[in-house]
A and B are shown apart, each in its own frame.
Chain A
Amino acid sequence: MRRRVAITGMGVVSPLGNSVDALRDALLAGRSGVGPITVFDPASLPTRIAAEVKWDGPILRDRKITFALEAARQAMEAAGRPRGEGGLSLGIGLELFSMDDLVAMQRPGFAMPPSRRERLGFLQTPSDLCVHMIARRHDLTRPPLTHVSACAAGTDAIGHALRLVASGRRDWMLAGGADSMINPFGVGGFCRIGATSTANDEPSRASRPFDRGRTGFVLGEGAAMLVLEPLETATNVLAEIAGYGNSFDAHGISEPHPEGRGAWQAMARALADAGLTPADVDCINAHGTSTTKNDPVETLAIKRLLGDRAKRVPVCATKSMIGHLISAAGAVEAVAAVACMRAGRVHPTINLDQPDPACDLDYVPHVARDHEQRVVLSNSFGFGGQNASIVLKHA
């Protein structure tokens, strides 16, 4: 017997604020969180802009772990302590080298730091440590999952948690994503493969999903966590998470299937899992990366899914305002979707001045819109052809 599953707590650290309310308000106001990189000096790198988290608190050596811990704290505080034994499902970005550490290792007489804490943080902090820190802090006693399906990881983490709670294999789950690649190695790596926008002179206009003038994505950072509990016993129901689907493109390594086959499969499977049909969809929070390859293919996949209704269903791109949070993207966008659904509004896709002719849906350009939503699809499609979608329902 499948259990219905509720979202009972949410927490977020994002380029547009470090609470759910702050993020929602900024998104609905159409504000951009993109600016010049300040967390390190990008010098002459082709990309010198990003959507950074504004963080005044103490920071661990690894920003993504700091963000994940804070998002988990907020989500657990909002949910209260659910009944039974909880588990963790986290999509997390990979460890990247600290260039200073790497250089230090080359010096004659170099010795590793003496304390375990310093040693583990030296050169890079293994991402899997984050799940154990969260599990310990919140007394999560069921085995933690670490998802590494690239840009789909945050959505996969939430979807997998849904399956575990719905099937009764876990009492409740804390699920989400965390990432920060705004460091020399991360930004340099994306520059090297030409993936990021180089519109350094107009940071707030650089991320422009579905626009004819888009030139690549803008890197963001942050974390979001959600508490999932059986709907039947939940007391603080923010929304229902009703379905999850994922798929492989089984196609190109860096380009999506030209007909959007995998993206369509993920959305169709999520709806089927929820017991819904495309006619039930009121809004789609798109993957919408602002890359030349993703946006038209996602548009094709949505058209295939929705058929005649495709141009009447609002499709919004959170990344137009907060950039691409990679492994955290799906989790932060899920929080955004729930918060906007509860407000009865759809946030805009900013910077959509001249739509690409191949992108001809209603992307809610520039300004938020009043729109009651019962069912929202949220998409995340990863580099390497991993596609994930979740279905969120108004409680």
Chain B
Amino acid sequence: MSPDSLAVTGLGAVTGYCDPVPFLRVRKQRKFMGVQDDLAVVAAGRAIESAGLPRALGQRAGLYMAVGYIPFERIDMDELLKGSVDERGAFSMARFSTVGYESVNPLLTFRCLSNMPAYHVSANFDVQGPYVVTYPGAGQFYLALEEACAALKAGTIDVALVAGVAHQKNFLVQHHFARLDPPADRIEDAAACLVLERAPDRPARAHLRELAIAYEPHNPFEETTAPRETGADPAMGPASLAVALCGAKGTLRHELVARDGIRASSTWELA
């Protein structure tokens, strides 16, 4: 793909704790939001602001998002377990079906689902256009980016939000990384978003000069490789490239060998 007519007009990133309230259109939605939703809304909000776009993007804007592994906190698990084991400490369906499942906060469903960061971005910035929501690694961010470029070039949309979101410091995601060989030695909560436009009349913050994506299938039950990235920090999961772009100057060359077999590279020129 030759993406050189596309311009990055906005960039936004966030790592660790963040407060999404300044970006919420409807504040009562706050109760439905988990950490991954907070991260996504703040990154998108900062990117949209930095592009100088209005907060309501409408039908000609699309969202292309890669979301990290489904998050679950230990405290929520413990609450569930308390009401789900018998006197011998074994799982009891009788207990679960009367006590355990009711101990789960019903809002938990909303706070952990992988499509919810996309929902919150769409609802708070009125994104009504097409979307791609992929899962769960940095390689999938590249596939979302590829589709955003294609939609812009086809004229389907005028503005693409391309985002990576990863809530990783929680029980379930840490468990997932711990059981891999080799395990991830460091993971972070992070999100970042690019605003991509086709020949905008606003100044460009960066240009995407080259994009390549390949794949080498393997059996994940028999073989895993540690992810390798140059130009970005793999601890950021699917947000790694976008986070790197937010702090880059000059030319950023990013190369990725992902755990899932995706090999990708891109070159960006920053204004």
Task: Give me the interface of A with B, judged by CB distance under 8 Å.
Answer: 40-45, 87, 94-95, 97, 99-100, 102-103, 106-107, 112, 116-117, 119-120, 122-124, 126-129, 131-133, 135-136, 139-150, 156, 160, 163, 167, 169, 184, 188-189, 191-193, 245-254, 261-262, 265, 269, 382-386
Indicate if the CB atoms of A145 and B175 lie closer than 8 Å.
no
A389–chain B nearest beta-carbon distance, Å: 11
User: Residue of B at shortest CB range from A103?
Assistant: B91
Which B residues are in CB contact (< 8 Å) with A150?
113, 115
Indicate if the CB atoms of A148 and B130 lie closer than 8 Å.
no
Partner of B215, one of A142, A184, A252, A254: A142
- Do A132 and B218 contact each other (CB < 8 Å), given the known contacts A122-B179, A163-B147, A248-B122? yes
Which B residues are in CB contact (< 8 Å) with A169?
1, 146, 150
Partner of A193, one of B106, B135, B137: B106
Partner of A189, one of B109, B118, B128: B109
Partner of B128, one of A41, A45, A250, A254: A250
Indicate if the CB atoms of A149 and B115 lie closer than 8 Å.
yes
Indicate if the CB atoms of A248 and B109 lie closer than 8 Å.
no
Interface status of B262 (Cβ within 8 A of chain A)? yes
Partner of A106, one of B72, B81, B104: B81
Which A residues are in CB contact (< 8 Å) with B122?
248-250, 385
- Do A95 and B129 contact each other (CB < 8 Å), given the known contacts A146-B140, A253-B119? no
With A and B bound together, what is the CA distance between A124 and B112 in angstroms? Answer: 15
Which A residues are in CB contact (< 8 Å) with B29?
253
Indicate if the CB atoms of A145 and B113 lie closer than 8 Å.
no
Which A residues are in CB contact (< 8 Å) with B175?
123
User: Residue of B at shortest CB range from A126?
Assistant: B176
Interface status of B102 (Cβ within 8 A of chain A)? yes
Interface status of B39 (Cβ within 8 A of chain A)? no
Partner of B115, one of A102, A120, A383: A383
- Do A143 and B214 contact each other (CB < 8 Å), given the known contacts A45-B101, A127-B135, A189-B104? yes
Which A residues are in CB contact (< 8 Å) with B114?
94, 148
On chain B, the number of residues with a Cβ less than 8 Å from chain A's Cβ atoms is 78
Interface status of B260 (Cβ within 8 A of chain A)? yes
Interface status of B40 (Cβ within 8 A of chain A)? no
Indicate if the CB atoms of A248 and B63 lie closer than 8 Å.
yes
Indicate if the CB atoms of A246 and B130 lie closer than 8 Å.
yes
Partner of B109, one of A42, A119, A193, A385: A193
B164–chain A nearest beta-carbon distance, Å: 14
With A and B bound together, what is the CA distance between A269 and B143 in angstroms? Answer: 22
User: Residue of B at shortest CB range from A123?
Assistant: B175
Indicate if the CB atoms of A45 and B109 lie closer than 8 Å.
no
Instruction: Mark interface residues in B76-87 (1 if CB within 8 Å of A CB, else 0).
Output: 010011001100
Q: Determine, out of B14-22, B92-100, B226-234, B247-255, the stretch whose residues face the partner at the interface.
A: B92-100
Indicate if the CB atoms of B118 and A112 lie closer than 8 Å.
no
- Do A386 and B133 contact each other (CB < 8 Å), given the known contacts A102-B81, A119-B179, A135-B215? yes
Which B residues are in CB contact (< 8 Å) with A135?
215, 217, 261
Interface status of B23 (Cβ within 8 A of chain A)? no
Count, A-B residue pairs, CB within 8 A: 204
- Do A141 and B215 contact each other (CB < 8 Å), given the known contacts A247-B129, A253-B119? yes
Interface status of B126 (Cβ within 8 A of chain A)? yes
Instruction: Mark interface residues in B231-258 (1 if CB within 8 Å of A CB, else 0).
Output: 0000000000000000000000000000
With A and B bound together, what is the CA distance between A261 and B129 in angstroms? Answer: 12
User: Residue of A at shortest CB range from B151?
Assistant: A163
Indicate if the CB atoms of B215 and A143 lie closer than 8 Å.
yes
Task: Give me the interface of B with A, judged by CB distance under 8 Å.
Answer: 1, 29, 32, 59, 63, 67, 69-70, 72, 77, 80-81, 84-85, 89-91, 93-94, 96-98, 100-102, 104, 106, 109-110, 113-116, 118-119, 122-123, 126-137, 139-140, 142-143, 146-147, 150, 154, 172, 175-176, 178-181, 213-215, 217-222, 224, 260-262, 264
- Do A43 and B115 contact each other (CB < 8 Å), given the known contacts A102-B77, A116-B221? no
Indicate if the CB atoms of B119 and A262 lie closer than 8 Å.
no
Other A-B pairs beyond A128-B260, A146-B140, 8, CB < 8 Å: A44-B94, A99-B84, A116-B222, A132-B217, A132-B261, A136-B217, A167-B154, A248-B123
With A and B bound together, what is the CA distance between A146 and B135 in angstroms? Answer: 6
B156–chain A nearest beta-carbon distance, Å: 9
Indicate if the CB atoms of B81 and A163 lie closer than 8 Å.
no
Indicate if the CB atoms of B102 and A117 lie closer than 8 Å.
no
Which B residues are in CB contact (< 8 Å) with A95?
70
Indicate if the CB atoms of B136 and A128 lie closer than 8 Å.
yes
- Do A43 and B93 contact each other (CB < 8 Å), given the known contacts A147-B132, A148-B133, A188-B104? yes
User: Residue of B at shortest CB range from A385?
Assistant: B119
Indicate if the CB atoms of B143 and A248 lie closer than 8 Å.
no
Which A residues are in CB contact (< 8 Å) with B179?
112, 116, 119-120, 122
Indicate if the CB atoms of A160 and B217 lie closer than 8 Å.
no
Indicate if the CB atoms of B89 and A107 lie closer than 8 Å.
yes
Most buried by B among A100, A119, A140: A119
Indicate if the CB atoms of A42 and B128 lie closer than 8 Å.
no
Indicate if the CB atoms of B132 and A132 lie closer than 8 Å.
no
Indicate if the CB atoms of A43 and B219 lie closer than 8 Å.
no
Indicate if the CB atoms of B89 and A103 lie closer than 8 Å.
yes
